[in-house]
Amino acid sequence: MQTKLLATSPSLQKLHLTKKFTQTLSVAKKILDEYSLCTACTGRLFAKKLGVLSYEQLGKKIYRLLKKNESNKCFVCKNFLLKTNYFVDKLLELSSEYEFSTFLVGAILKPSIVDNDDEIRSKFQLRGIDSVKTDFTNQIAKIFSKKTKSKIDYLNPEITITIDLKTDSCQVKSKPLFLFGKYTKTERGIPQKEKPCSNCEGKGCRTCKNHGICTFDSVEGKIAKVVFDKFGADQIKVTWIGGEDKTSLVLNKGRPFFVKVINPKKRNIKLAKKITQDKVVIHNLHLIKQNPKTSFPFKTKIQKPIGTLIKNTIAVYDKNKRNEKLIYSVKYDVLSSTSFSLSMTADGGLPIKRFVEGTDVFPNLTDLIGTKCSCKEFDFHEVKLV
């Protein structure tokens, strides 16, 4: 790889004939008389100014011309800059189980490395050069990109690679995915939510294979099992559209839910229209673009019409007699994709059922929302005398 990079830097061969390079050599001599630097760090200090791509090759040339012996241990990078291939190999192995087309590389360095790098740059007034960290991650990214045929993405990469030089370890994490589906439940006794792993309380540990759960008996557990199997994910976070008791059944079209898939290995999975997991059936589970919590369609649909009710006068007609009732405040809660609860403070005598259904009451919920509404139940919380 290094030789390939060298081939694209045409100036290196004739570099020693230029005036810029003569100046460089005299600065380099001063630095190397005082500090022990590796060839990569030596090259890095001058490469940009000279338009050379391979820091290491430039560093070698400088050493050769100054007739110096290459140092054993670099004052700045402690020689890790010379080990890029070692890290790339590690990353290739770690990332091999991930499906990705874009990535980003980050590194965690010991503070002393950053300090030493700054010391040299400020002492010899070297400006506009890459820091040891940038240089390291750039070198790795370049090679990794070629080997995996993937692209660097600074804003929204599919995988993020972190190299921790403090502990000599690497980590790969992928961007979460989001799914939407519905489920039905035809037998009583299945709870909706799964108990967290007792060892880690759901954070993820070795016992639960990082899943945060160890059992798969609930609706959540059944969904998790499918997602873990198909996407190779670490964990899931489910947003339920409404809740239920473990004794209740979920029938007909089923209850909708959203899943955030954490650290998925596979990204392009097509799921069956119907996935049966014992007495729970998952319907039409599919990938969606983003976490829909904030743009849930039913909530958006009712938000505005309900908002118009606040401080609004409602006209109630009884046998040609018209009465006015004022609504003071309104609050609502979405319970499912088709139901919500409404609590409001209003003048006494407002016929609630007729206000919901739209029988001789204007405005009413059925007209406002544009769908036939019915009132399942209602309670009075407080009756005030004014």
State the catalytic residues.
245
Spell out the SS3 assignment of the chain.
Answer: CHHHHHHCCCCCCCHHHCHHHHHHHHHHHHHHHHCCCCHHHHHHHHHHHHCCCCHHHHHHHHHHHCCCCCCCCCCCCCCHHHHHHHHHHHHHHHHCCCCCCEEEEEEECCHHHHHHHHHHHHHCCCCCCCCHHHHHHHHHHHHHHHHHCCEECCCCCCEEEEEECCCCEEEEEECCEEEEEEEEECCCCCCCCCCCCCCCCCCCCCCCCCCCCCCCCCHHHHHHHHHHHHHCCCEEEEEECCCCCCCCCEEEEEEEEEEEEECCCCCCCCCCCEEEECCEEEEEEEEECCCHHHHCHHHHHHHHHHHCCCCCEEEEEECCEEEEEEEEEEEEEECCCCCEEEEEEECCCCCHHHHHHCCCEECCHHHHHCCCCCCCCCCCCCCCCC
Nearest distance in Å: CB 129, Zn ion: 13
Nearer to Zn ion, 208 or 361 (CB): 208
Nearer to Zn ion, 28 or 76 (CB): 76
The residues that touch Zn ion, with contacts defined as CB under 5 A, are 38, 41, 74, 76-77, 81, 197, 199-200, 205, 207-208
Nearest distance in Å: CB 73, Zn ion: 9
Nearer to Zn ion, 59 or 254 (CB): 59
Nearest distance in Å: CB 70, Zn ion: 11
Nearest distance in Å: CB 31, Zn ion: 12
Nearer to Zn ion, 163 or 208 (CB): 208
